[in-house]
């Protein structure tokens, strides 16, 4: 599973100036704070969406954190996680539900 943020979230953050990513092979639990994003407005944490292991991180963000603003749902993914239970994804919002939520 690839984890990042949406365009809406990127817009709310403002200009991103720093992204701290988790270490490879880190075991995480749902809700753990595992990414820190700093923007000109504030610092924000990204939480693990599922229990699992971090299997890849987007090293490009270390050199170019502005990618989060330029392409949040494409090149600016944060990490990939190998989920312990993919069935947990059934409890998450789909894109239509998210759009309704942010209204």
The answer on pLDDT for 95 being more than 90 is: no
CA distance 86 to 74: 22
- 23's torsion region: left (phi>0), alpha (psi -120 to 50) or beta? beta
Class of domain 2-102: mainly beta
pLDDT at 86: 87
The model's pTM: 0.89
The answer to whether 49 and 84 are in contact (CB under 8 A) is no
The residue extents of the domains of the chain are 2-102
Per-residue pLDDT reduced to its tens digit, 14-55: 999 999 999 999 999 999 999 999 999 889 999 999 999 999
For residues 60-85, average pLDDT:
95
């Amino acid at each position: 599973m690839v984890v990042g943020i949406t365009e809406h979230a990127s817009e709310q953050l403002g200009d991103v100036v720093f992204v701290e990513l988790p270490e490879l092979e880190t075991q995480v639990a749902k809700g753990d704070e595992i990414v820190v994003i700093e923007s000109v407005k504030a610092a924000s944490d990204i939480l693990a969406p599922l229990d699992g292991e971090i299997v890849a991180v987007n090293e490009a963000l270390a050199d170019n954190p502005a990618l989060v603003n330029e392409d949040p749902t494409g090149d600016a993914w944060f990490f990939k996680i190998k989920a312990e239970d993919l069935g947990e994804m059934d409890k998450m919002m789909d894109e239509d539900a998210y759009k309704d939520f942010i209204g």
